[in-house]
Structure formats: C-alpha cells, structure tokens
Structure 1
Amino acid sequence: MIDHLCITVANFRRSRAWYQAALAPLGYELKYDGEHGAGLAAGFGPQAEEQAVLYLLSAVPGRGQCEPLTHFCLRVDSQAKVQAFHAAALQAGG
C-alpha cells in the first residue's frame, strides 16, 4: 500500500495553488504548509484523515534542478515484508 508520495516542483507557490484547487473536488485538503529542510513543503490528504498522502516540495535554492524528482513510501505491517520486498526487488534486477 502506498503511504505517501512526494514530488519536487519548480514553482512551489503556483503548484500548491493548482493542486489545492484541483484536489478539492476529490475531497482532499491542505494538511501541511511549511518548511522542509532548506525548502518548502505542502501536504494534501483526504478531509476525513489526519495525514497527508501527497507532498509538494520546493526546489532548493542554489541547486538549479529539482532534486529529488520523486519520492514514494510504501506501508507494510512487518519487517519480514520489508525483507521480502527487498529480496524480490534484487531478484528482479534492482
């Protein structure tokens, strides 16, 4: 199960406004709006839940590029599943 996704955007303020407007009809709202490391972050999630599931990250000034481009986390309920995922990923050529 996907826990959350992060994407780095070049124009943070414009992207935050766009995602806030576009996600509203789906029942998503702004859950977090503040600093993240050297940049800014905005987190969106379903109105009925406390946690954000989609985060926008600003490009860090001075780096020139948006790094990392994407970040995603998966949720599992045991260390055994983490190890099984890792083994399968390596077996598949990861």
Structure 2
Amino acid sequence: MFELTGFQRDLLYVIAGHDRPSGQQLKDELEASTEREITHGRLYPSLDTLVNAGLVERGEIDRRTNYYDLTEKGREALKERMEWEKTYLPSDLTSNR
C-alpha cells in the first residue's frame, strides 16, 4: 500500500464501504467527503492502477457503467494498513468508544 497515493488509498476505503459502486458513485462520495472536485482524468487512471495492482476488480453493470469491488488482496492490504496505522496512533484515537 505504500506505493499508492493517498487518493488511491482513499478510493480503496470508499470501495470497501459500498456494494460494488460505479465510478460515478465513487466520484460523488469523495467529492462530498473532501469538498473538492475530482476529475475523470484523476479518478479513472487511479482506479486502473488499483485494478492493475490486483487490489480491485472491475465488472460491468451495463455497456456504459462499470462497478468496482475489492479483491481478497485488496481486503488484506486494507487490514494491514489499518494495523500499521494503529501502531502510530495514540490509544485514545484507536479505542472503540
């Protein structure tokens, strides 16, 4: 995961939180969360990188729309990332209150 950009890692988290979202759904969700415009020229190459890395699978909803879903490798990468992050965060930020 260290080879990914922060934006690509954010995409993995958003994909994990949805049931096979489309690229447009991912774009809308990230724009709402970050309050920044995300261009297609940024979104789709980043998704391609995740697919090519084997972290995400792409499938077809219809002729014009694809969905994205985490692979097992993607799930494991997110779990490992979360564990790594916990080692650097103070316990009051990682407790389940």
TM-score exceeds 0.5: no
Counting helix residues as a fraction of each chain, which structure ranks higher?
2
Counting strand residues as a fraction of each chain, which structure ranks higher?
1
TM-score between both structures, scaled by the size of structure 1: 0.30
Q: Answer with 1 or 2: which has the greater Rg.
A: 1
